[in-house]
């Protein structure tokens, strides 16, 4: 007890009774730090509560303004399209939604969106039917089957396909890929010509099939990259539980990986569909311009809304430009409906995703 200073001693005397907290003030003349003025325990760099609250409020306001700006831009685009399309629609003498003719530069103008909308949807759907199974197979291989030293460079190569400009795909499809597709179309017509989609007497080549294959190659890296990221986020305990119950590798993927990643895969497919619906230059280069509705995939023909805009905008009259803008409004509406449907599907799967996590 004799080794500890007495608390009852007078601190001002500076003698042995001075405690450690008062020694500095007694020996150096520096006043002690009151408890309320001490730096926070989290470190000297921590901000006061009022400053943190101010920064959080500012960031929340900035994020809200950014989200609102997106909605404002979408509404502004819709208003612009409607304002420019209404005069041409008033001058149209045909049914805009159901007519297959496209003569907006004539007097009186006659044009409709039926054939263009049909070609847009047909090429996009066929492209997804071709690309999605391949993309999912590649994504599963890179995420669960391939060794890391192989999966990493292959993933980089596939991602690089997304950086290739669409005009390059279009030129490659027109000058290089069209002849193999024409030969394949002749073979399909020879052996499966009894099917309406492979019938006809030619010519073959610049057809819906060629446009769909080019679109499939273009959307492949998008669907693959997003699906791979989703599959890699599957909780390890879900995979280990399936393997512990005696499941094979494929059974584990089918029961644990695919159900967990289904919302992300749907989002990836819808993003690829949006890319296919809005593709312009590639389809303008590989499709032969026609305004007809036919499910024949191999005979030359076909058109899309975006390709028609690219091909005819330069020579269009004011009414013709209004007609093209009206067709763009239809494409805008189709894309909006597709994205809303995708969000609804993902929202319905959110409960399963949260419970699995």
CB atoms inside a 10 Å sphere around CB 12: 10
Q: Are 43 and 37 in contact (CB under 8 A)?
A: no
Question: Cα separation of 301 and 299, whole Å?
Answer: 6
**80-356: CATH, from 1.20.1090.10, 1.20.1250.20, 2.40.50.840, 1.10.3720.10:** 1.10.3720.10
Quote the CA–CA distance of 274 and 318 in Å, as a whole number. Answer: 29
Q: Which residues on adjacent β-strands are paired with residue 300?
A: 207
Domain ranges of the chain: 80-356
- Distance, in Å, from the CA atom of 169 to the CA atom of 178, rounded to the nearest integer, reads 12
* pTM metric for this prediction: 0.78
Pairing of strands 102-103, 110-111: antiparallel
For residue 110, give the H/E element and its range.
strand 110-111
CA distances to 28, 128, 199, 204, 310 from 207, rounded to whole Å, are: 93, 17, 13, 7, 18
- Full pLDDT tens readout for the chain, 357 residues: 444 444 444 444 444 444 444 444 444 444 454 554 455 544 445 667 766 677 788 888 888 999 899 899 989 998 998 999 999 999 888 889 888 889 998 888 889 999 999 999 999 999 999 999 999 999 999 998 989 888 888 888 888 888 888 899 999 999 999 999 999 999 998 888 888 888 888 778 788 999 999 999 999 999 999 999 899 888 889 888 988 988 888 899 999 999 888 888 988 898 888 888 888 888 888 987 788 888 889 888 888 998 899 888 888 888 999 999 999 999 988 888 888 887 777 777 665 455 545
CA separation, residue 143 to residues 139, 232, 237, 255, 274 (Å): 6, 6, 16, 16, 25
């Amino acid at each position: 007890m004799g080794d500890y200073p007495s608390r009852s001693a007078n601190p001002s005397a500076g003698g042995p009774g001075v405690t450690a907290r008062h020694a500095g003030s007694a020996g150096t003349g520096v006043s002690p730090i009151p408890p309320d003025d001490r730096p926070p325990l989290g470190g000297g760099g921590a901000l006061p509560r009022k400053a943190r609250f101010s920064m959080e409020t500012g960031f929340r306001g900035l994020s809200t303004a950014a989200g609102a700006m997106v909605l404002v831009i979408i509404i502004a685009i819709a208003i612009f399209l409607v304002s420019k399309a209404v005069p041409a629609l008033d001058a149209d003498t045909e049914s805009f939604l159901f007519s297959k003719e496209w003569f907006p530069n004539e007097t009186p103008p006659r044009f409709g969106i039926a054939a263009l909308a049909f070609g847009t949807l047909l090429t996009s759907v066929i492209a997804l039917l071709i690309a999605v199974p391949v993309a999912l197979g590649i994504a599963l291989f890179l995420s669960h089957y391939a060794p890391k030293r192989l999966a990493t460079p292959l993933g980089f190569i596939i991602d690089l396909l997304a950086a290739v400009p669409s005009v390059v795909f279009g030129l490659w499809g027109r000058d290089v890929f069209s002849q193999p597709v024409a030969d394949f179309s002749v073979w399909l017509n020879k052996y499966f010509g009894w099917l309406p989609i492979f019938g006809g007497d030619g010519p073959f080549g610049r057809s819906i099939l060629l446009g769909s294959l080019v679109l499939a190659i273009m959307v492949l890296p998008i669907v693959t990259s997003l699906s791979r990221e989703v599959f890699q986020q599957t909780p390890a305990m879900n995979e280990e539980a399936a393997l512990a119950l005696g499941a094979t590798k494929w059974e584990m993927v089918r029961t644990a990986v695919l159900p967990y990643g289904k919302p992300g895969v749907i989002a990836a497919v819808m993003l690829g569909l949006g890319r296919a619906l809005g593709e312009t230059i590639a389809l303008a280069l590989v499709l032969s311009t026609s305004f007809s509705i036919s499910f024949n995939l191999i005979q030359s023909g076909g058109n899309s809304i975006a390709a028609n805009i690219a091909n005819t905008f330069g020579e269009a009259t004011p009414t013709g430009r209004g007609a093209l803008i009206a067709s763009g409004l239809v494409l805008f509406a189709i894309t909006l409906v597709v994205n809303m449907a995708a969000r609804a599907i993902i929202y319905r799967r959110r409960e399963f995703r949260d419970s699995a996590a």
